[in-house]
Structure 1
């Protein structure tokens, strides 16, 4: 380790450490008290060049501490002759690593170490109790970690925010530090980032746009808001920051707890928790992004779009087109020497020459005309007769679902009654087992059967409830689609934003040339409402077989 400070060659290192948990013990472990004890001991015993190395607010289970690292670096350079601590726990609470430093590292470099309160002095020989003290210090850290985790789990299960600071776009309420309120200036940037993603921009492109527009980065914004020194790069956004913002469900107004976990209190690395182990609490703070917009962004992010290799052009429908025959995506094909009229989409299974699919494609210009016309048709249906349009949507999407939901609700009620009944049966056969009314073997057999039935019913209830919840959400989605229609009445041309807000996916069939014309069926799956059944001719584009725009 290198350091800019100049030190003498015969240092007496006075090491003091205090973690946040240790601070709860009171003044006896404070840094000021440790420094006082260490300096007095060094002075009274004539140790030369006493030099303090301090780590304040850092846990003893980690040895990656600035003060400790500096002292170890000087020890490796041969400048440290003695290390003095108040007690062994100040050195650390990982008994294996403490043992390494005291029994190997210091011994190999002929460094004397002293723990004042524990009566440890390496020059006076081994202290048989030192390994036990180190082990007890490790147990203390483990026990403290369990207590902290228990407190955090209780808070998390109660729906409290577990992160210290709110995400960018929110701030703590001045009236209640546990409550998040919208930071309007930052929230405007968050909304812009989501709008750019809906418009077809990726994190890298969004970062470049914000940088070019001189939008303060998250770090720079916080520094300006809180009156702290400004960083060097005020406007250089990183794509990772954009990705982090786009993936935070908290912007929809919910709280997501237990997203990560650590395997041990000694490991800093956080691992992603499985979705079923996370807890989501709705409406815990004002939403910055509508839930439907957030979900649409996640869909677009799952279907990442990249410009074609031959040219820096990106297809308007990239990521949305699927082959009706094999289910694969249709890839955008263009080139530097190709005109926009020649740009097209081709089935990826055929393009890769695997032979799994037939050669079929569709021109982008043709698709633009078709999709725009379909949007006009749907808008006209809505404007002419809103109630009639709603009825069509419900009939096509919800009539069968409603029948299924009625059945599922009935099954749910029956399953819950049976689960409650099984609880009573468990209690009764347990009492019969205790009283000797039935044999213990019979009890074990019955209880195993009832437990299996109850587990199966519980899983069934969860699935059925999820289906009912989905149905209820689907009914509210109609209003969201209606809002999109009103927003884009009278559009003259398609933009990525319009396409992404209206269209969930487009299914392209292989062309039929049997009639001498190139007829090609296209199905559009709309966001929120799914497919709308229409006349076959309205779902088909037709061109002369030899037409160059076919």
Structure 2
């Protein structure tokens, strides 16, 4: 039996905890009930200087709790004589950590520990059943976690939202399971996507929002709830912007199972792959068009960084070498005039390959792209149906034949898979009836299973190709919207370039009769390359021989 001596200035720590799962048990575990039990016990047994430490809505499997940590700090400072809880599960549901605190931490610091309902009092000596209670509490937490995960899994697979609405949405007052658009926040989300399309990176976007005094997500929610705004309420950070730009929910789709934890005791969430996620389309109103979202993901995959001269190439991240496939990097410096800015093959620049030193000036590329967009737009406006047919013939005529063959093969493969199911059933019955030997059954079933598995993999792969093809065909309408949006443009902007252009391929220049010829292939978003009847190689006049070489 351990003797405990209370110093007059020491406190009696009354600790109460309630997790969301515990709340399901009703009033028995409520904070109000725990406080009443603890107060009465302290008063009836002469414990002085009682101080409450309460963690409401915190799981018992984690020990990173605000008021638990505050109590531990008081113990380490020597200010606590006794810790009292309603029962041992209130201290926690991890038997290893609970054992550490009750058998080592409290003992070393001469702190008396009492769990009222479990009859545990360290002043009365060891309770042999205490470790088993800790273990049962741990089992309870594990079992509860399994049940909660199973419920969440079922809800997620049914297309229900598993998270709170992201910034830009709010819960529908008429149906708590639905999200509706929060117009004020949604306008900021749209602006963030527009700025990205305009060539701005997350850090640049954060600076723009801060300069315009746009409330951060945290500050916005505080304002909505009538609470005090946090310090630096306009201080957007790069990670917040990235989180918004990468969230597919803004297209109107529900994306479930984006992360998981390895254990109910671990807080860390691990991102899942796209294959592990469940996506339910058109479950709520979209804030961002899907075409815009996909374009933003492409742009973010080709991140652009401002140069030391603080100039950024209009086509940075979009220009590729026709010979080696490398990107053409934007080259400039403070001493350059705008006409000297150019794009140069990365492999030549870094001397890591055998690619030739071909390059193209940005002014020239601007003129080529602007003229190309003008020609395509003019052809579209002149006769939309002819333009559609031309694009179809160039991009889909040959592919159509292949897709039709694949569709026939898919139909045949699916019929064979169904037939194999019938065969399985038949040979299984023959095996049971003794019509064929069991060894023969095992051999045949293995062969049929291998064939069915191979066919299933083939069906999945070919169906994906067919789906992609059908999606590409429907993308013409998206391209048509962009054309109509920018009819009559006279100058290129980052937004126009990013909406129109997917990729630019620059070939090495050729000199013919003293003139410089350079072929440039332009791949448009949604429709790929477009070859107009009047197409020819782009001529770039030889630069003035006396001009300073970039």
Q: TM-score, normalised by structure 1?
A: 0.95
Q: How does 1:163-178 map to 2 (within 5 A)?
A: 163=163, 165-178=164-177
**Partners of 2:364 and 2:540 within 8 A in 1:** no
Deviates more, 1:294-303 or 1:118-127: 118-127
How far the C-alpha of 1:204 sits from its partner, in A, is 1.1
Taking a change above 3 Å as real, the CA distance of residues 481 and 537 of structure 1, as seen in their structure-2 partners, is closer
Q: How does 1:94-493 map to 2 (within 5 A)?
A: 94-163=94-163, 165-309=164-308, 311-493=309-491
Unaligned runs of 5+ in 2: 1-6
Distance in structure 1 (CA, Å) of the matches to 2:445 and 2:513: 69
* Matched residue, 2:3: none
- Supply the distance in 1 between the matched residues of 2:491 and 2:410 (Cα, whole angstroms): 48
- Residues 94 and 100 of structure 1, relative CA distance in 2, 3 Å threshold: same
2:85 and 2:267 map into 1 onto residues whose CA distance is: 25
By how many angstroms is 1:533 displaced? 2.3
> Which sits farther off after the overlay, 117-126 or 227-236?
227-236
- Contact kept in structure 2, 1:60 and 1:91, CA below 8 Å: yes
Deviates more, 1:205-214 or 1:141-150: 205-214
Deviates more, 1:528-537 or 1:235-244: 528-537
In the other structure, the counterpart of 1:3 is none
> How far is the alpha carbon of 1:442 from its aligned partner?
2.4
Q: Partner of 2:4 in structure 1? A: none
Shift of residue 224 of structure 1?
2.6
Deviations 1:461-518 (A, max 9, x none): 1111111111111111111111111111111111111111111000000111254321
SS in 1 for 2:58: coil
1:132-183 C-alpha deviation (Å, 9 max, x unpaired): 11111000000000000000000000001100x2111111112111111111
Alignment of 1:11-30 (within 5 A): 11-30=11-30
Give the superposition deviation at 1:48. 2.6
After superposition, what is the alpha-carbon deviation per residue over 1:367-423, rounded to whole angstroms, capped at 9, x for unaligned? 111111111111111111211111110001111121122111111111111222222
The 1:542–1:10 alpha-carbon spacing in structure 2 relative to 1, beyond 3 Å, is closer
1:58-69 equivalences under 5 Å are 58-69=58-69
Aligned-partner Cα distance in 2 for 1:421–1:457: 12
Taking the aligned partners of 2:341 and 2:50, their CA distance within structure 1 comes to 76
Cα separation, partners in 2 of 1:28 and 1:510, compared to 1, 3 Å: same
CA distance 1:247–1:182, change in 2 (3 Å): same
Residue 36 (structure 2) aligns with: 36
Distance 1:31 1:509, change over 3 A: same
Q: Which moved more, 1:187-196 or 1:291-300?
A: 187-196
Structure 1 residues 513 and 535 mapped into 2: Cα distance closer, same or farther (>3 Å)?
farther
Alpha carbons 1:87, 1:118 under 8 Å: kept = yes
Q: Secondary structure at the match of 1:117?
A: helix
- How many residue pairs were aligned? 542
Deviations 1:330-387 (A, max 9, x none): 0000111100011100000000012421100000011111111111111111111211
The answer to whether the 8 Å contact 1:10/1:49 transfers is: yes
SS in 1 for 2:54: strand
Give the stretch that moved more between structures: 178-187 or 538-547. Answer: 538-547
Structure 1 vs Structure 2 CA RMSD: 1.7
Matches of 1:278 and 1:365, distance apart in 2? 45
Query: How big is the shift at 1:269?
Result: 0.6
- Counterpart CA distance in 1 for 2:247 and 2:190 is 13
User: Could you list the per-position Cα deviations for residues 416-440 of structure 1 after superposition, in whole angstroms to 9, with x for gaps in the alignment?
Assistant: 1122222222222222223333333
Quick check: 2:517–2:537 contact (8 Å CA) kept in 1? no
User: For residues 174-223 of structure 1, what are the alpha-carbon distances to aligned partners after superposition, in whole Å with 9 as ceiling and x for unaligned?
Assistant: 21111111112221111111111111111111111122222222222223
